[in-house]
Structure 1
Amino acid sequence: MEFFADYAGFLLKLVSVALVIGFLLTMMSGGKRKSQPGSLSVTKLNEHYDAMKVELDRQLLDKKALKSLEKEKKKKEKLEKKEQKKEPAVAESADKKRLYVLDFDGDIKASAVESLREEITAVLSVAKPQDEVVVRLESGGGVVHGYGLAASQLQRVREASIPLTICVDKVAASGGYMMACVADKIIAAPFAILGSIGVVAQIPNVHRLLDKSLIDVELHTAGRYKRTLTMLGENTDEGREKFKQDLEDTHGLFKRFVSGQRPQLDIEDIATGDTWYGSEALENKLVDVVMTSDAYLVSHYHETEVVHVVYKQPKGMAERLGLSFFSVVEQKAVSWFSRLAQSRGY
């Protein structure tokens, strides 16, 4: 009991200090809040791939074999430089061919679209028609407007006449597939999950519980369909029917969008809300190739400059403070419970 009392006291002091510091920092920066630009990170994946290969050769080959390999490599580089001098135009053209790799890890709000829009803007400012944009997409879907915006960002690549490839290693369902279908080519791992072309919504209603407790809830609206279903008030059959109709309308919009991007699909057969694994998705024409994103990128390392582009959003003061606070609490909690476990022989 003494341990828990001490621990509770420590947490209370820590929370109090964090709140005071947070309040002071917010007051200090309140009049200076301006949107701070994020940072763009560009990594050449070819160099990373070559570095791993060189390290493995160094660890696995004996001195004689390693020396022979290095000699052969230098000979090859010398020959390439000689060819470039003979045909500079061809060499220059080859140098300009790039494959831009972007990542989209989607949550229910499609929050990653904020970084995606910046990354696409940056890539389109330098990309050429012979280049390619590859998006490694992972998402189980979410809100319609969020994923609709994300799909629209990908359409910017298509409109710029830059080839767009979507790679799905795990899941691209519902809103995730809405994004994927924009691509010129969809590549999925054998056991990736794709599809779920449907719409779902649920709203809890506690009206009967409140009514039993003699609690009234008043809801006033202007407009017949300003509110169809509510969480607290009594829902009507008319409101339910309108809500269902809205879902059907959204589903129809979803189907038209997908069929417009991939006319080869039998949309009425596919748009049931069902999902398929990669190999099955290929049979149903939801994807074009069954392959992992790693295999696809490796196949381009020898002929294309592959660059990974990441836009990092700036963190606000409150977010940074929150992360620091929870980090301190976690470390202290682990320390205290470790001591407790040791003292009791756990």
Structure 2
Amino acid sequence: MGDWLYEYGMFLAEVATLVVAIAAIAAIIVRARSHGGARQGTNLQVRDRRAHLRRHRETLEDARLSRAQRLRRQKQRRKQVRRERRDRSNDQRNTLWVLDFHGDLKASRIPSLTEEISAILLAAESGDEVMIRLESGGGLVHSYGLASAQLDRLREAGLGLTICVDRVAASGGYMMACCADHLIAAPFAVIGSIGVVAQVPNVHRLLKRNDIDVDVLTAGRYKRTLTVLGENTEEGRARFLEDLRETHDLFKSWVSEHRPALDIEQVADGDIWFGTQALETGLIDEVNTSEAWLQSHGDELRILEVSLRSKRSVMQRLGQTAGSAIERGVDRAIERVTASRWDRQ
């Protein structure tokens, strides 16, 4: 009897510990989410590409030298660095500012992109250019519309804009890519998908078979055209399709405005092209990779890579990670379904 009570007491203690741990994690998540993910500050990082690659080169060079040879070489390098610092004020080269944009379903990197562009506009001088390494399979129309509008700020300021696509710029991704003055894509990068898609599941018949009623109450004829739970009507479907067509027309107009030489009706059927094919249709201007293009311009331009990093407290980082895990998982699942169209083996 005593052993049984002891084991039962230990079981209760384990259960209580687990409940307290779950409650503590939940409290952390609620606290972090209640701050709305507010930033504690941001850190703008700038990396000189030439200096960065030089360090890699020096590491490889040192690997094949003896210790005495390495010491002599390091001494020579220190002298060279001092000379370059003295001569930097005489460097007349224009600056190429390099940004990265990896877009998810909601283009959630827009705030960082906006701030990076604002900073560059404050620092850029006449003759400077901007290059963006872009990767996105598209997502929400309003999100990618806003991201595209941010890129237009660079052109309006008179800065040349080059966009490089190494993997994919489809749908909303191409909406952004077409804003470039010069658009580059890798040979097998996926380009295009100028179309609009929407999928709305409906479980009304399942609910009806189980005698479950759902009332959908609206004020306004088209406040809710298609629903998940309620009964959809032909009028609602027709209106929803009309909205899709209007969105598609706006998408085509945006692309035509930014690439007027493109035969928009030939490419705006939702299809995709690989880089070499996209060059033939006029969707891009050059077939190349971002790394090769940067390497070829390293002597004529001073290349600075810019990235904005958010500073968050430990509590916020923990809460944000836990609270966003499921949301990211769902988004990635949707992205995989969408990307399966062009992820061909």
- Verify same fold: TM over 0.5: yes
Shift of 1:257: 0.5
Cα distance 1:303–1:64, how it changes in 2: closer, same or farther (>3 A)?
Answer: farther
Tell me if 1:37 matches 2:41. yes
Q: Give the Cα–Cα distance (whole angstroms) in 2 for the partners of residues 36 and 273 of structure 1.
A: 41
Q: How does 1:260-299 map to 2 (within 5 A)?
A: 260-299=257-296
Cα distance 1:42–1:224, how it changes in 2: closer, same or farther (>3 A)?
Answer: same
For residues 90-149 of structure 1, the C-alpha deviation after alignment (integer angstroms, 9 at most, x for no partner) is: x3433xx11111010101101011110000000010112311101010000000100000
Query: Any conservation in 1 of the 2:132–2:163 contact (CA below 8 Å)?
Result: yes
Query: Any conservation in 2 of the 1:129–1:163 contact (CA below 8 Å)?
Result: no
Q: Give the Cα–Cα distance (whole angstroms) in 2 for the partners of residues 80 and 157 of structure 1.
A: 31
Q: Give the Cα–Cα distance (whole angstroms) in 1 for the partners of residues 286 and 167 of structure 2.
A: 14
Decide which of 27, 39, 49 is 2:53's aligned counterpart. Answer: 49
Counterpart in the other structure of 1:19: 26
Q: How does 1:51-130 map to 2 (within 5 A)?
A: 51-60=55-64, 91-94=90-93, 97-130=94-127
Q: Give the Cα–Cα distance (whole angstroms) in 1 for the partners of residues 159 and 192 of structure 2.
A: 25
Decide which of 277, 300, 305 is 1:308's aligned counterpart. Answer: 305
Shift of 1:304: 2.0
Decide which of 319, 322, 328 is 1:322's aligned counterpart. Answer: 319
Q: Give the Cα–Cα distance (whole angstroms) in 2 for the partners of residues 213 and 275 of structure 1.
A: 43
Query: Any conservation in 2 of the 1:44–1:306 contact (CA below 8 Å)?
Result: yes
Query: Any conservation in 2 of the 1:141–1:173 contact (CA below 8 Å)?
Result: yes
Shift of 1:166: 0.4
Query: Any conservation in 1 of the 2:39–2:312 contact (CA below 8 Å)?
Result: no
Counterpart in the other structure of 1:134: 131
Query: Any conservation in 2 of the 1:119–1:311 contact (CA below 8 Å)?
Result: yes
**What SS is found at the alignment partner of 1:170?**
strand
Counterpart in the other structure of 2:234: 237
Q: What is the one-letter code of the residue matched to 2:170?
A: A
Query: Any conservation in 1 of the 2:170–2:194 contact (CA below 8 Å)?
Result: yes
**What SS is found at the alignment partner of 1:125?**
helix
Q: Which fold has the larger relative contact order, with Cα–Cα distance below 8 Å and residues 6 or more apart in sequence?
A: 2
Cα distance 1:26–1:249, how it changes in 2: closer, same or farther (>3 A)?
Answer: closer
For structure 1, the residue ranges without an aligned partner over 5 or more in a row are: 327-346
Cα distance 1:291–1:60, how it changes in 2: closer, same or farther (>3 A)?
Answer: farther
Q: Give the Cα–Cα distance (whole angstroms) in 2 for the partners of residues 305 and 245 of structure 1.
A: 49
What is the aligned residue count?
312
Shift of 1:315: 3.7
Query: Any conservation in 1 of the 2:95–2:303 contact (CA below 8 Å)?
Result: yes
TM-score, scaled to structure 1? 0.79
Cα distance 1:77–1:34, how it changes in 2: closer, same or farther (>3 A)?
Answer: closer
For residues 216-259 of structure 1, the C-alpha deviation after alignment (integer angstroms, 9 at most, x for no partner) is: 11112111111110111100001000000100000000001101
Cα distance 1:50–1:247, how it changes in 2: closer, same or farther (>3 A)?
Answer: same
Percent of residue pairs bearing the same amino acid type: 49
Tell me if 1:196 matches 2:203. no
Q: What is the one-letter code of the residue matched to 1:250?
A: T
Counterpart in the other structure of 2:343: none
Counterpart in the other structure of 1:215: 212
For structure 2, the residue ranges without an aligned partner over 5 or more in a row are: 1-6, 324-345
